[in-house]
Structure 1
Amino acid sequence: MKNVEANVFKETVSAILHDHQSHVITVRRSSLVPVTVCSTPPKGSEIFSKQLQVTHIHGPCSPPKKGNTKSPSLHQILIDDQIRVKYIHSRISNSNQTTSTFAASAVNLPANSGQSLGNGNFVVRIGIGTPKQDFTVAFDTGSDLTWIQCQPCAGMCYSQQDSIFNPSNSSTYSNILCGHHACEQLQSATGNSAPCTTSCIYQTVYADGSYSSGYFARDKLTLSPSDVFLKFKFGCGEQNQGMFGSADGLLGLGRNKVSMVSQTSQKYGKIFSYCLPSTTNSTGYLAFGNQTSTTSRKIHYTPLLNDNRGPSFYFLNLTGISVKGKQLAISSSVFTTSGTIIDSGTVITRLPPAAYSALTKAFRGAMSKYPLAPAYSMLDTCFNLVEYSTVKIPSIVFHFGGGTNLNVDKSGILVQANSTQYCLAFAGNSGASDVAILGNMQQQTFKLVYDVAAETLGFGAKGCS
């Protein structure tokens, strides 16, 4: 395939449109050239047709940033991603201990890929208060509590994209008192051990030392003109420091009673969906409620499992992996020992050591015509593609309980480390009992439907189109 001309490349793509065992990718000569044009322009700050627009926070589809905010390097993204994974593993392995948790993040909202909390989070715009003020927040299926920065900060707030919320300017704002049952829900969701005298206090501490603390409060949440929640419970943070990028806070889509999913259940029935864009200059969406229609693409469902190690997480029954149409010889006990969650905030999918070893062996075998390259950070299956303009890569399929398959989009198989080096976008966990995590890179382009009430998760191909 050396020196393939553009017309030959088009013919090659056409010839394998129905080859479900392979994908063709174009080798880019630079991963550092910034993209400045949004291919699917945002539809405004208001939600449209029960959808919030999802965009990469550092891409041209996202709202303009204050100052010269630079996109993080892949190396930094992987470092932050590993910090998040270690924290998730700690939460699940120490589930019986009282610990502070991640803050939370998630009508359809536009979402952007955020720099905070591992750089792989996606952001949407929501409105808080009366009159409404709009905020850009990361949404997180691995968190419950929603929070934003609030005045007075007294020098304890980080620089954010929008003006910091001033609760005294909102006619519908109120603090939640200590004795209220909502404060008890907060404590059960976060392991919050803050002393309480009059008003309920929340504390959220992250694995990298970042934190948010303030009042647990109520105010009007606006997702669209017709989607308004008058007494939405959230954290009004007056002390916030850490690697949150330019996001104004977090929107929690976990399963606990303080999450947005639970708080809006009467209107949306504990159903939400999203599609994550595969490029920084394209958009996806975050939606709430039943979005199905007769014209919708087929959605295939797998059961959501409950696991007392992490009741807020969305556990799945991963049963196997196929490479280039052939299922790998991985014992079922490998996946039952670790368990598997799907997480919107983790970038790179993590697999049990035995499963990862089988995947890399099969993938390297299928890519044997391409020269290997040195490892890049945690990514140890890399290829030197300097001599190629196009490359044929094997398909990767995840098999889940209920006979549901996820045929990973080609954008989620290889990640470009530099101008010539491409690496398999998966990593192995340290121990066999560490939970496996389906990351957001492998979720890209799919419509993910979380029917929390029915305890099912749906996958739909080409979900962003």
Structure 2
Amino acid sequence: MASVARRAALLRGSCLAVVLALAALASAGESSGAPDWHVVSVGSLLPSSICAAATAASNSSALSVVHRHGPCSPLLARVGGAPSHAEILDRDQDRVDSIHHRHRGSGAAPAINPARASKGVSLPAHRGLSLGTGNYIVSVGLGTPRKDFSVVFDTGSDLSWVQCKPCKDCYEQQDPLFDPAQSSTYAAVPCGDPHCRGLDSSTCASGNRCRYEVVYGDQSQTDGNLVRDTLVLGPSDALQGFVFGCGDDDSGLFGKADGLVGLGRAKVSLTSQAAAKYGAGFSYCLPSSSSSAGYLSLGGAAPSNAQFTAMVARSDTPSFYYLDLVAIKVAGRTVSIPAAVLKAPGTVIDSGTVITRLPDTAYRALRSSFAGFMRRYKRAPALSLLDTCYDFTGHRTVQIPSVALVFSGGVTVSLDFSGVLYVSKVSQACLAFASNGDDTSIGILGNTQQKTFAVVYDVANQKIGFGAKGCT
């Protein structure tokens, strides 16, 4: 009996030692910035007002990517001030609503503006509702001789376009309008061209001209002619005969951008048109803050540290890129979310959505887990759709639990600090995720969570990769 008692005592002592060791390890991780925690200076939470951009990729087709409302943006001097964080997030919801609309494939199309009905061009009654305007811009050249334009790039759109002369009704933009009469390589796309027939909304106008119309989720829109011309990428690399829209009747929240470059999966997208020359794919890195720069590159090799997960094939909305989100971790611990909650609606990765949207059950579980590690900090008011916010006033540093997204194939993407919190000010830093409001709407991996990663779209092999520290 004495021997049994001694063994029991030793076992209790060993268990206690293990518990104390685990507690010490957790405490050390919390205070030292171990992999499961981010320790960040409060003074570094807000972006600089000075651009610190640097060229991030050497590929000849690489384009510099900047946030359109930051100090690196060529649009900043002309926009009369950036929108507020609440306005950005409210517009983000417009885009999300549009993605959900397209995914469901139902619901009423946006009403046709009566002023446009008098144009003499008959457009289809059931027009596809496209996405809202995006957040990141690149500069490209068009025509011969080359003229440069600052355009939004968007993985959720297919047709690229700029505003053109002569213009019936154009919004004010950064640069002079593209003038087809001044380009020796310009040509109109006829109605019978496969690119014209493949558009969601097109019609044939006088002179065998292919007319297009795109209506975005925020009610911005562009109408014009489908055309061809030389697209210049990087310092000199050119794509001959690029098909794009020449807008002559445009309106909306484009924020002085000269147009848009679509990187979706349809035949008319830049991705598809450039595949023969650069390979079927592209990659980009979104910078950690609006005061720095990333890149967008067509083709090219993936970084050596990239982890790849399979693209999910879907026929209902073929322009989107889908992947399989299977779990979420907070501070290294897997959040309790039923597998079916993430699997059932699926997840689309989108360069233009700001905040990642999750099924409601998944979001509530993430929020509860995250808030449990943040009890030391004072809560702050909600910011638009962000409901879990903190006040860091008076702190020199903050200790934030890591958040990792786990995709099929065992790919674990541990988010940069800039992908965990959306910081409007020191007194209002919010968990950068939001609920879809239900468990049936498609999930969206937004651009905040993609920051600092080299995101590789290997279309040829149907996989998407994530490489840490991709902008450096």
**Do the aligned partners of residues 38 and 374 (structure 1) sit closer, same or farther apart at CA in structure 2, a change above 3 Å counting?**
closer
Does residue 310 (structure 1) correspond to residue 324 (structure 2)? The answer is: no
Q: Return the alpha-carbon distance in structure 2 between the equivalents of residues 14 and 423 of structure 1.
A: 20
Aligned AA for 1:16?
A: S
Q: In 2, Cα distance between the equivalents of 1:414 and 1:235? A: 37
Residue 455 of structure 2 aligns to a residue whose secondary structure is strand
- Deviation string 1:394-440 (CA, Å, 9 cap, x unpaired) is 01010001111110110111122334121111100022111100000
Once the two structures are superposed, what CA deviation does each residue of 1:323-347 show, in whole Å capped at 9, x if it has no partner? 1111011111111221101000000
**Greater shift after overlay, 233-242 or 376-385?**
376-385
Q: Is the 8 A contact 1:47 1:223 kept in 2?
A: no
**Structure 2 CA distance for partners of 1:451 and 1:282, relative to 1, 3 Å:** same
**Root mean square deviation of aligned Cα:** 2.3
2:404 is the alignment partner of 1:393: no
1:99 to 127, 131, 134: 127
2:381 pairs with 1:374: yes
| 1:420 paired residue number | 427
Conserved 8 A contact 1:95-1:309: no
Alignment of 1:8-87 (within 5 A): 16=32, 19-28=34-43, 35-41=48-54, 49-63=60-74, 65=76, 67=78, 69-87=80-98
Match of 2:372 in 1: 365
Question: What is the CA–CA distance in structure 1 between the aligned matches of 2:44 and 2:410, rounded to whole Å?
Answer: 39
The reply on whether 1:408 has 2:415 as its aligned counterpart is yes
Pairing of 1:167-206 with structure 2 (within 5 A): 167-186=180-199, 191-194=200-203, 196-197=205-206, 198-206=208-216
The aligned counterpart of 2:153 is: 139
Is contact 2:189–2:209 with CA below 8 Å preserved after alignment? yes
Structure 1 position 29, deviation (Å): 9.7
Distance 1:353 1:213, change over 3 A: same
Query: Which amino acid letter does the alignment assign opposite residue 24 of structure 1?
Result: V
Residue number in structure 2 paired with 1:256: 266
Q: Judge conservation of contact 1:297–1:461 (CA < 8 Å) in 2.
A: no
On the 8 A contact 1:123/1:137 being kept in 2, the answer is yes
Could you list the per-position Cα deviations for residues 319-370 of structure 1 after superposition, in whole angstroms to 9, with x for gaps in the alignment?
0101111101111111122110100000000000000000000001011121
Q: Which residue is equivalent to 2:222?
A: 212
Identity %: 46
Instruction: Indicate the SS of the match to 1:212.
Output: strand
- Contiguous gaps of at least 5 residues in structure 1: 1-11, 104-116
Specify the alignment match of 1:151 in structure 2. Answer: 165
Confirm or deny: 8 A CA contact 2:150 2:259 kept in the other structure.
yes
Partner of 2:177: 164
Give distance in 2, aligned partners of 1:29 and 1:339: 35
2: CA distance, partners of 1:360 / 1:233: 45
2:448 counterpart SS class? coil
Structure 1 residues 360 and 65, CA, compared in 2 at 3 Å: closer, same or farther?
Answer: closer
Deviation at 1:59, TM superposition (A): 2.5
Shift of residue 28 of structure 1? 4.3
Letter paired with 1:265: A
Cα shift at 1:66: 5.1
Q: 2:143 aligns with which of 121, 129, 132?
A: 129
Moved over 6 A (4+): 12-15
Q: Which amino acid aligns with 1:204?
A: V
Maintained 8 Å contact 1:13/1:24: no
Mapped to 2, the partners of 1:231 and 1:216 lie a distance apart of 12
Q: Please report how far the alpha carbon of residue 175 of structure 1 lies from its aligned counterpart in structure 2 after TM superposition.
A: 1.1
Contact 1:65 1:161 in 2 (8 A): no
The separation in 1 between residues aligned to 2:44 and 2:179, in whole angstroms, is 47
Instruction: Indicate the larger mover: 47-56 or 343-352.
Output: 47-56
- TM-score, normalised via structure 2 length: 0.85
The 5-angstrom pairing of residues 263-302 of structure 1 reads 263-292=273-302, 296-302=303-309
Kindly tell me: are residues 206 and 392 of structure 1, through their superposed partners in 2, closer, same or farther at Cα, counting changes over 3 Å? Answer: same
Shift of 1:374: 2.5
Secondary structure in structure 1 of the residue aligned to 2:96: helix
| Distance of 1:180 and 1:412 partners within structure 2 | 43
Report if the CA contact (8 A) 1:100-1:203 is conserved.
no
Q: Tell me by how many angstroms 1:310 deviates.
A: 1.1
Secondary structure class of the residue paired with 1:334: helix
3-state DSSP of counterpart to 1:77: helix
Q: More helix per residue: 1 or 2?
A: 2
Q: Secondary structure in 2 aligned to 1:406?
A: strand
CA distance in 1, matches of 2:400, 2:49: 28
Residue by residue over 1:228-260, the C-alpha shift from the partner in whole angstroms, topping out at 9 and shown as x without a partner, is 122110000000100000210000000111111
Shift of 1:95: 6.4
Which string of whole-angstrom CA distances, capped at 9 and with x for unpartnered residues, describes residues 290-338 of structure 1? 234xxx4411000011112211100001101011111011111111221
Contact 2:68 2:75 in 1 (8 A): no
State whether structure 2 residue 437 is matched by structure 1 residue 442: no
Aligned partner letter, 2:368:
K
Counterparts of 1:319 and 1:343, CA distance in 2 = 18
Residue identity in the other structure for 2:187: S
State the alpha-carbon separation in 1 of the partners of residues 398 and 204 from structure 2: 59
